[in-house]
């Protein structure tokens, strides 16, 4: 096999271990760590007086920070632009009252903005189609009846 190439030409087994598949060498270590997690944490808590960084590191491994949990805002209407305005007002109230975090509110506002852009695009598409139909134009921009005078 030539140097610098990951596999010889014609390799039938793919490009190696797929992303996300477990590493066979670290699996026994993870099982051992999970089995003795309580004792390790107890030891870390006892020693954390001298080294708080150790407690932070071990606690982060045993109890990882939860991400992307659902935000409890209730049902937010999103069918019209007026609905989106009410949804953003509701989100702002919840964020300013402390019921949701500012970062969660920012993510909800991002989703509201994406929905607003989609509604605006749909509205423009409908208006453009109605205008083309009124002028007798096909969707490609050419006139359906070539004998009609051109409107500019």
Specify whether 58 is located in the same domain as 82. Answer: no
Q: Dump pLDDT digits (tens) for 102-150.
A: 888 898 999 999 999 999 999 999 999 999 898 887 666 555 555 555 5
* Range list of H helices, 4-135: 27-35, 37-47, 52-62, 81-97, 102-135
pTM of the predicted structure, to 2 decimals:
0.47
Structure tokens at 77: 């209407």
Specify whether 33 is located in the same domain as 57. Answer: yes
- pLDDT reported for residue 74: 79
Residue 83 in any domain: the answer is yes
Residue 95 in any domain: the answer is yes
Query: Which structural domain, as residue segments, surrounds residue 112?
Result: 74-152
Residue 2 in any domain: the answer is no
Number of neighbours of residue 94 by Cβ within 10 angstroms:
19
Specify whether 56 is located in the same domain as 86. Answer: no
Longest dimension (CA), the chain: 91
Residue 129 in any domain: the answer is yes
Residue 108 exposed, middle or buried by CB count within 10 Å (0-12, 13-18, 19+): buried
Specify whether 145 is located in the same domain as 114. Answer: yes
Q: Dump pLDDT digits (tens) for 65-84.
A: 666 666 777 788 889 999 99
Report the mean per-residue pLDDT for the chain: 79
* Cα pseudo-dihedral 19, 24, 26, 31, rounded to 10: 110
CB 32 within 8 A of CB 61: no
Specify whether 78 is located in the same domain as 150. Answer: yes
Specify whether 102 is located in the same domain as 42. Answer: no
Rounded to whole angstroms, how far apart are CA atoms 64 and 84?
A: 34
Among 7, 41, 62, the domain boundary falls at 62
Q: Domain count of the chain?
A: 2
Q: Dump pLDDT digits (tens) for 18-27.
A: 777 777 888 8
- pLDDT reported for residue 109: 93
């Amino acid at each position: 096999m030539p140097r610098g190439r990951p596999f010889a030409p014609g390799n039938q087994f793919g490009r190696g271990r797929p992303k996300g598949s477990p590493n066979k060498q670290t699996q026994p270590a993870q099982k051992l760590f999970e089995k003795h997690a309580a004792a390790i944490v107890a030891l870390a808590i006892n020693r954390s007086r001298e080294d708080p960084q150790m407690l932070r590191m071990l606690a982060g491994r045993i109890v990882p920070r939860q991400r992307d949990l659902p935000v409890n805002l209730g049902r937010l209407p999103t069918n019209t632009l007026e609905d989106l305005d009410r949804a953003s007002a509701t989100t702002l109230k919840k964020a300013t009252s402390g019921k949701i975090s500012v970062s969660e509110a920012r993510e909800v506002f991002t989703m509201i903005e994406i929905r607003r852009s989609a509604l605006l695009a749909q509205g423009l598409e409908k208006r453009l189609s109605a205008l083309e139909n009124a002028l007798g134009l096909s969707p490609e921009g050419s006139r359906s009846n070539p004998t009609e005078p051109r409107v500019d």
